[in-house]
Amino acid sequence: MVIRELPRRRALDVPIRPTRAEINIDALRHNLSEVKRAAGPLQILAVVKANAYGHGAVHVARVLQEAGVSFLGVALIEEGVELRNAGITAPIVVMGGSYRSGYGLLVSHRLTPMVFQDEHLRELNAEAVRQKQKVAVHVKLDSGMGRIGASIDELPRLLLSLQGCAHLEMEGFCSQLASADVQNSQQTRDQLAVFRRGLQCVDTAGLKPKWRHLANSAALLGLPEAKVGWDVNLARPGLALYGLRTAEWLGEELLLQPALTWKTGVTHLKTVQAGQKVSYGGTWEAKRQSVIATLPVGYADGYHRSYAGKGYVLIRGVRAPVVGRITMDMCMIDVTDIPHVAMGDDVVLLGTQGKERISAELMAEWAGTIHYEVLCGIGARVPRLAE
């Protein structure tokens, strides 16, 4: 079966709907500076997977490339190809390990894969031979997270196989910590010990990877032993670049600035009488005559249905509760007690307006999830506008 990508509709240069995510480029640059301060001598692999955690991968990658990061990190070949097609030339590491029929794209687009299976080595080397290229790889060790990577017992054999692949070069060695955001985690201590054994295996095999990396944002901010006194020289920050911490106790000394503000606008105003129900299922009923504003954002945009009855937005600098069920494309807010609300008024879903602020952490509480999911869940049809 031949799989063909469907043609994509070109988005309008200027969105018509007022719903948008505004990305503060100055905040991104500031956060990178703070992350570099935390990293000390370590170089930076800036993680821009999942559309740069919802911030817009191409915009963000351009900023980080101009700032001189050593690598960009993505999860998928598709994400790496998107960046290359947008003119990004910085080294890109593909961290997800799902390559299947994409080895040709890895080589032709100069993407650096994390490898940990014999198939990775065999197929990648064969493709490198076909394209007459030398391909850099980063070997991934599963030090105890149980997700992807070669186990410590499998590692010596994998390294031996790698040495038999003339067109592959071991540029990096890495692992992933599962509980770096948990204080005094025994799992983290165990993983650090396994990673040290992995480094010894690499040295015994006579391999000299230029880059050794272990620290994600949590380890970079709260685990000194994962970045100093070790044979490591690269860190992989993700969430911190976007101005958020993985846990409240991490990196309190860093002055991080959230880089994304999610906004929309009022597209309809109506007065409902006491006893009138609003939205599907009639789950909200007006207890008095009320003014209801409709906003053109819904769960298809990543504005979770679970926010209904818990969440609020900011309009004219004050809070307005979300009422009734959130629908696919719209939601409603009660603005009865907010004077002078008008059609077209700016509404903040995530971010600051006046003295009020809605954080990704707060929205995660409303939804019973984590702030990563709130950011990554902002839908593809919400335009990201760099400012």
pLDDT tens-digit map of 273-327: 999 999 999 999 999 999 999 999 999 999 999 999 999 999 999 999 999 999 9
> Mapping DSSP to helix (H, G, I), strand (E, B) and coil, where does residue 376 land?
helix
Report which of 18, 14, 17, 16 is spatially closest to residue 315, judged by C-alpha positions.
18
pLDDT at 228: 63
- The one-character DSSP state at 157 is H
pLDDT at 3: 47
- The pair of structure tokens assigned to 141 is 């060790």
Ramachandran angles phi, psi of 250, nearest 5°: -90, 130
Give percent of the chain above pLDDT 90.
Answer: 89
DSSP string across 174-223: EE--SSTTSTT-HHHHHHHHHHHHHHHHHHHTT---SEEEEE-HHHHHH-
Four-residue CA torsion sign, 126, 128, 129, 134? negative
Catalytic residue among 49, 140, 227, 263: 49
pLDDT at 10: 55
CATH homologous superfamily of 260-386 equals Lyase, Ornithine Decarboxylase; Chain A, domain 1 (2.40.37.10)
88: left (phi over 0), alpha (psi -120 to 50) or beta: beta
Residue 6 pLDDT grade (very low, low, confident, very high; cuts 50, 70, 90) = very low
Q: Is 280 a catalytic residue?
A: yes
The one-letter amino acid code at 22 reads E
Four-residue CA torsion sign, 375, 32, 80, 120? negative
pLDDT at 7: 53
pLDDT, tens digit (0-9, with 9 covering 90-100), for 353-387: 999 999 999 999 999 999 999 999 999 999 999 98
- Work out the mean pLDDT of the chain and round it to a whole number: 94
pLDDT, tens digit (0-9, with 9 covering 90-100), for 68-103: 999 999 999 999 999 999 999 999 999 999 999 999
Q: Is 299 a catalytic residue?
A: no
- CATH 3.20.20.10 maps onto the chain at 25-242
Residue 45 pLDDT grade (very low, low, confident, very high; cuts 50, 70, 90) = very high
pLDDT at 1: 38
Number of alpha helices (DSSP H) and beta strands (DSSP E) in the chain = 11, 20
pTM of the model: 0.94
Q: How far apart are CA 56 and CA 202, in angstroms?
A: 36
pLDDT, tens digit (0-9, with 9 covering 90-100), for 314-355: 999 999 999 999 999 999 999 999 999 999 999 999 999 999
Q: How far apart are CA 358 and CA 311, in angstroms?
A: 10
How big is the chain, counted in residues? 387
> Mapping DSSP to helix (H, G, I), strand (E, B) and coil, where does residue 22 land?
strand
| Fold annotation for 25-242 | TIM Barrel (3.20.20)
Catalytic residue among 134, 210, 277, 280: 280
Q: How far apart are CA 176 and CA 156, in angstroms?
A: 19
Among 46-55, 159-168, 235-244, 249-258, the range scoring the smallest mean pLDDT is: 249-258
- CATH 2.40.37.10 maps onto the chain at 260-386
Residue 2 pLDDT grade (very low, low, confident, very high; cuts 50, 70, 90) = very low
